Chains A and B, each alone.
Chain A
Amino acid sequence: MSLIRARTDSPFRAAAAARARKDENARRAFFVITLLPVALILVISAALFVRAWPILSVYSPADLLFGKIWKPASGQFGFLPFILGTVWVTVVGLLLAVPPCILVSIYLSEYAHDRTRALAKPVLDLLAAIPPVVYGVWGLLAIVPFVDDVLAPLADRWLAAVPIFRVTQPTGFGILAGGIVLAVMIAPLIISVTFEVFLTVPNDLRHASLAVGATRWQTIRTIVLPKVMPGIVAAAALGTSRAFGETIAVLMVVGNVPNIPTSVFDTAYPLPALIANNYGEMMSIPLYDAALLGAALVLLAVVLVFNILSMLALQRMTRRT
């Protein structure tokens, strides 16, 4: 409480009391508002669950999650192709993004001049600010033709023996295109999170290592990286959840065909794209709306798990400074 109460003059005490009351009221009002974030998570989960209940009560979760056939008009709601589609695109995106992003992060935190760092910030901010639909257009105009004209023929020539690189359909749309676009989209996130994590390592450790003659890279490899590994994993988890939920950009380049992927050149149909593409038909086929909102629920569940775990880990790491 403030020092106001210490004063004994009456006119001041009245005014002070009024201000203190205002403070108390505002405190209560603001407290209620802070309930909002927590409440929101619960309300969203509940609402989706309620709307998805019709289908959850008819089919078992195993049927839905592992069912392979998606033919809603005949009452078959197998989500497996969509779940696998999402997983494939996300994994490709992560594999393409994480190694370069860690390198960039290391570079920015350990090696770069202030000038480079100053240049990097706007670049990353801009990449993060570009709307997903613009990424989708870029994917359509630049990446899909690239996959079609450059990567697919290369894979055909050199990698035809490897099943996951087999070119299975003639268009450039597919998991690889989606993965490339996703990689660029999650790059700013991974870079900035790992950058923060690198900053948490105290410099004395680095200096000690350098003092005994290790090169910078040796220092990083043996001292810094082990310490920040949990943070890097957390960053990758955040990137995963972001990639899982990205809708529009992926939808425009991934092909949207509900088959179970066997190659990165396959087309796929991720969960968010399923929801976005079919909302118009939702009400005409029985249980379709429950199915789609159930898909949203699955998405929410996955994202929540990844996010809560990684956020907890990161909060613990960055609070140590």
Chain B
Amino acid sequence: MRKLTLCLFSLLTIASLALGACGPAGGSASSSGPEAGASDPGALSGTISVSGAFALYPMMTVWAEEFSRLHPGVQFDVQGGGAGKGMTDAIAGAVDIGMISRSIKPEEEAQGIFWVSVTKDAVFPIISEKNPVADGVMAKGITQEVFNKIYVTGEIVTWGQVIGDPSVTDEIHVFTRSDAAGAAEQWAKYSGGKAQEDLLGVGVNGEPPMVDTVMKDPLGIGYGNLNSIFDLSGGGLVPGILIPPIDINGNGQADADETYTVKEDAFGAVATGKYPSPPARFENLATKGKPTGLVLAFIQWILTDGQQYLEAAGYVPLTAEQQAESLAKLK
């Protein structure tokens, strides 16, 4: 009997030691180094570690897989953790690339952070299809000022005030995100606040519950990312949800290019810049110092061939000028 237990213990010990031995050597270095095969540019190898925004995470895993397919010697370690974690890890050199779903602050650049934009996505306001004044809202649109008064100052509290009809006294059920979210940050900036914590409203934790909640509440208003609002395979809106047009030009009515009912319209508006930024935003990749070798090759690939995978995933590809700008930055 003792032999059996001894064998089991030894097996487990050996297994754990083997794990330690057969991995890439050196745990304190951030990766096994961006070793580009200098002689043959096609044969890249090494490991790239990435962490950061959940918003970019699904896309990064797609990019990682496609890139590894082209360069079988390259492996990826991709983690989520939020934009904050990505920035922290990038500054600390704990990862090669940080996914940052917001703009980079000057203090962060001062710590040596170099960044490029690789895609765009956008936050849209949402209301329920069952909203009693849905038609009015869809016809008139909502201006940035009104959003400010709903979400930051709290001056506007009824749907009647939104469409300019004092007879409608239904109160607005304002929803915001309670978890730290890039989408919330963007919406806050657009609505005139400084940060997510300035947004008023009942907090909902997570994006799917936010969309769900607004869908079910006729008097609700909220916001969400492109890929939560549009059904990416079909191209239409998620059933039950409407995007109240943002009255961008302030003319008091919802123009055709301000109204989005299918994915292409929304994508187009974001890509061309018609849709304001914020709440549209560039998704950025951050590195400590200018990237070189393998990491550079990967980011360059993302900015060129990698862009083809974006639309299907719900992200907006960069325009040709934006691509060129980012590539030029990398030189």
Contacts and interface: CB of A to CB of B under 8 A. Distances in A.
In the complex they form, do A and B come into direct contact, defined as C-beta atoms under 8 angstroms apart?
Answer: yes
A173 interface: yes
Interface residues of A, number: 25
Interface residues of B, number: 24
A258 interface: yes
B209 A171 contact: yes
Interface of B is mostly: mixed
Given A171-B209, A281-B82, A256 B179 contact: yes
Nearest to B52: A280
B197 A74 contact: yes
A73 B194 contact: yes
Nearest to A74: B197
Contacts of A281: 82, 84-85, 180
Contacts of B32: none
Interface in B194-235: 194-195, 197, 202-205, 209, 213, 216-217, 220
B246 interface: no
Given A256-B178, A284-B84, A73 B213 contact: no
A116 interface: no
A71 B180 CA distance: 12
Contacts of A257: 178, 202-205
A283 B203 contact: no
Nearest to A267: B203
A259 B202 CA distance: 10
B195 A284 contact: no
Contacts, number: 67
B180 A277 contact: yes
A169 interface: yes
Interface string B87-99: 1100010000000
A282 interface: yes
A277 B205 CA distance: 10
B181 to A, nearest CB: 11
Contacts of A258: 178, 203
B197 A170 contact: no
A244 interface: no
Interface string A283-300: 111000000000000000
B84 A170 contact: no
A256 B203 contact: yes
Given A71-B197, A170-B213, A277-B179, A282 B203 contact: no
Given A255-B203, A282-B85, 7 more contacts: A256-B178, A256-B179, A257-B203, A280-B84, A283-B87, A283-B88, A285-B84
Interface of B: 80-82, 84-85, 87-88, 92, 173, 178-180, 194-195, 197, 202-205, 209, 213, 216-217, 220
17 contacts: A71-B197, A73-B195, A73-B197, A74-B197, A170-B213, A173-B205, A255-B203, A256-B203, A257-B178, A257-B202, A257-B203, A257-B205, A277-B179, A278-B180, A279-B85, A280-B85, A281-B82
